Structures are given as structure tokens and as C-alpha cells.
Chain A
Amino acid sequence: MVRLVEPLQSGFMQSAFAASLMIALICGVLGVYVVLRRMAFIGDAVSHTALPGLVVAYLNGWNLFGGAAIAGVATALGIGWISRRGLIREDTAIGIVYTGLFALGVAMISVTKSFRDITALLFGNVLAVTTRDLVTIAIVAIVICAVLALLHKELELTSFDPIHAQVAGLNPDITRYVLLVLLALAVVAGIQAVGVVLVSGLLITPAAAASLLTTRLVRMMLLAVAVAFVSVFVGLYTSYFFNVSSGAAIVLTSSLCFLVAAAVRATMVSRTPRSSTVSIVTSSPRL
């Protein structure tokens, strides 16, 4: 028991837990929309294209978070714009922008020798999080949760029935762009914890695990946050005691959680009798 409390007594681990849990919260909630709207590839792209933004911000002495956020948002909006124009398919547009900008970031690092340790950038180092980082992540978390709560009805409808939304006067393009901007902010916040390469894992895997276990949207979000929290706790303890990369440990734990969820789902399906769709369910007015 003493051994379990030990990590929580050091300041850097307290900051690491605080930062990781906030990132887990936003990735869990937002990840559900990313999974349901099949935007996983965009999440991956936004995380990778933040790299040139980080380098430019570093070279100019700007806030790294700001640089990455601008690059991420620009990428998200750019992909949205290209795919809306219908010139090429969205996944192709993502593939082009994603690899091109990531390559630009790597080239800039190699030419300018701007980062001594690119590993921390690529795979994260939540153990080095500062108070300023914590404040930034907290602000991002508040903004994301507030916007998701405010636009819950609109995001929900445009996710499954954009035609009805448009006819009802709720433009699906607006919610899509809002979601892309939130996604960019979440990804950039997550880079601190798990790095450019692994942040999409924290965004997608907990939500994918939750989607196997429930057919209610809000419940799915809560489950995704729970999976992300478990991943953070187990990952950080593993990192502390076994000297494993914190980002890798967090994402590996969430992958294990997904496997457990898949097994639970398979068990649930095998135990459920093949009922027809007309069986009676008691209902009550509840929204």
C-alpha cells in the first residue's frame, strides 16, 4: 500500500497525474464523436501535423502549445475545406496533408537542430509537465467540455442525420468545423502526455472500447472517460515502477482495456438470445 502511495507524494508525479487525467477527460468525451463520426484518421493527422507548428514556435520563442494549436487547427480546417470542395476523397486529403506536414516538421528539426530530444516530442513526457502546462491544459479542458455541453443536441444530430439537421436549419458544416477545432486543441493538449505519435491512441481507443459496451451516447462518453482514467493510472504507475515511457504505458493500457471490452462484448453477444426486433420494452417519457 505504501508503495502505491509513494508516486503520489512527489510533486512531478502529482502534476503528471493532474495533466493526464484532464487529458483523459477531454480525449474520452471528444473521442466518442471521433469514433462515431469515423474521424479517427483526422485525429491522427492533426496530431502529426502539429509538429511543424511546435518547431516554428520553438525557433521564434513562442509558446509551444500555441504553435502546435495553430498548426493543428489549420490542418483540421484545411482537411475539412479540401474534402468539402469534393476535389478528392477526404481520406486521400488527410493522407496528403498529414504526411506532408509531418515530413516538414522532421525536416525543420533536422536542419535547424532545434530540438535536442525529439523523442520527448514524438512520445511525450508527462513527467516533465510544468505548472504553466497544467494551466493551459485546464483551460483547454474547460473550453472543450463547455462547447460539447452547449452543442450536445447539434453535435448528436449532425453525427447521425446531417440531412435532417440541415433541413432543420442546423448547418452540419458548422458543427463539423467546431469539432475539428476542438479535436485539434485536445490533440495538442494530449501531446504533452503521450506525444505526437500516440495521442490519437488515447483519443480513439477508450472511445472505441466504450462503443462496444453501450448503446447510449452519454453513457458511452462516461465509459470512455473511465477507460481513459484507468489507462492513465495504470500507465503512470507502470512508468514509475518499471521505468517505461509514460506515453507508451498509457496507450498500451488503453489498448488492453479495448481487448477486455471486446471480450466482454463477445460474451454479451453470445449470451443474448437471437430476439426479433419487435419484442416489448417498457418505455417512459425520458429525454
Chain B
Amino acid sequence: MKPAVWEIPSPTDSRPTADPAIAVCDVRVHYDGAAVPALDGVSIEVPIGSRVALLGANGAGKSTVLKAIVGLLPLQTGTIQVFGAPFPARRRQVAYLAQQSELDWRFPITVQRFVATGRYVHLGWLRRPGKQDGELALAALERLGVATLAQRQIGQLSGGQRQRVLLARALVQSAEVVLLDEPFTAVDVESREILIDVLEELHLQGTTLLIATHETEAMALDQTVCLHGGRILSPDTRERERLAGWCG
């Protein structure tokens, strides 16, 4: 029997099917105090249901692309659309898995309640999570093989377990697009295999995956986008050849 988490109906939306899942058009992002822009003239189109990897060395701009898509960074120029609309209108359809280092793992919260925070985008302000949200969280934890840790404090998890819990939180959101920032970093072999299995399963269900990673061989991909110094390298540049280690 499929776990309950797969039975959550997708959020209702009226997006036109012709639009890509994500359209990043000529985007420039500049961090305060930085000498050069973090992204400069970046355009990426992610088709619905595809698996796209953002590749590049540290500082290439991979994480910045993901943060810009979910509205965490202001755009100096350019536009970003999700299913043909700005991100705030598609918030419920996009799950974002930040790097592990970007949240406080010492906070006194159980793994199950942590995963249930994936439902908050549907609850909005003031509405409390209910019993069903807790059950969905547990089902997602079961799918990721960490249900036995549901009542642990999140700081007691290993790196691989933390990544599984982060993906479980994305599952309970039942998003149509999942953005993952370095999901395979500091992850043990078992966790890595489970993560890839679940991501493949999401792909088969039609979920769009955009993954910032150093590793091209981790899972099958439909498209790779190689970034260097905040710019996209075109497939025929010599620079791309020089950076073949990153770009595959």
C-alpha cells in the first residue's frame, strides 16, 4: 500500500500547460558589498517534469539561482516565473531544500514536527497543524526510512538522516517543483541511495527537480546547466572544456 503522503492531492492551479515549470530570464543578482554580481545575465528554462542539475564550483552561483527562484534574493534585472507566474503566486507548488547548514539543528523540536512544517505553506498564518499533518509527516518519514526517529530532537540526527528529513518535509508539501541545494553533501551511502530512489519516484510522478550539486553521476538527469562566476557557460566554450570536471 502506498503511504499516505503520496495520496495528497496536488494544489489546485490554473497554470497554462505551455509554460515551463521555471523560467529564469536574464537575471542579475548582486549581494551587498560584493565586487561582482553573483548572477549576471542568467537564463534557464526548466521544462515541466524534468530533472535539471545546476553544476559548478563553489561560488559559481548555483545556490544563488535557487534562492532567487524562491524570492530570497532581490533581482537587479530580469524575471523569474514559476508555471508562468511570479513565485509568490506559486508558493505552494515549490518546495525548497536549503543546505543543512542554513538552519538551527539545536532547536528543541522533534523530527516529526519538523517535517510537518512542510505543511505550513498550505496553512498560512495562525492556522495550527492538525492530526492529519502529523500523520502525513510520519508517512513521509516512513518513505525515507527514518520513521523510527520521529520523536528525536532534530539535532540528534546524522548528516544523511538530516537530508532525508529535509526531503520528507518537501514530500509533505506535495509540491510540483522541488529545488534541492547540495542534497548529496555529507550524506552516507544508504541515505544517498534512499534520496535518489525517492527523487526518481517523484520524477516518475511528474515532479520537476532542479538540483544544485557537484555530482552529475549521482542520478539520471535530463539537462545540466553549468555555471561559472555567476554566468552560464555555453556548451561550446573552451572554458567549459577546462571545467569539464564540474560540467560532465
Contacts and interface: CB of A to CB of B under 8 A. Distances in A.
B70 interface: yes
Interface residues of B, number: 51
Interface in B89-140: 91, 94, 96, 98, 102-105, 107-110, 112-113, 116-117, 120-121, 123-131, 133-135, 137-138
B96 A277 contact: no
A217 B126 contact: no
A36 B96 contact: no
Interface stretch (B15-23, B153-161, B221-229): B153-161
A280 B124 CA distance: 34
Contacts, number: 117
A64 to B, nearest CB: 34
Contact of A154 (B125, B149, B151): B125
A167 interface: yes
Nearest to A217: B108
B32 interface: yes
Contacts of B123: 153
Contacts of B32: 86
Contacts of B104: 159-161
B127 to A, nearest CB: 8
Given A151-B126, A164-B98, A283-B138, A169 B121 contact: yes
A164 to B, nearest CB: 7
B129 A159 contact: no
A160 B162 CA distance: 14
Nearest to B153: A215
Interface of A: 36, 86, 150-154, 156-157, 159-161, 163-170, 211, 214-217, 219-220, 277-278, 280-287
Interface of B: 32, 70-72, 88, 91, 94, 96, 98, 102-105, 107-110, 112-113, 116-117, 120-121, 123-131, 133-135, 137-138, 141, 147-153, 155-158, 161, 169
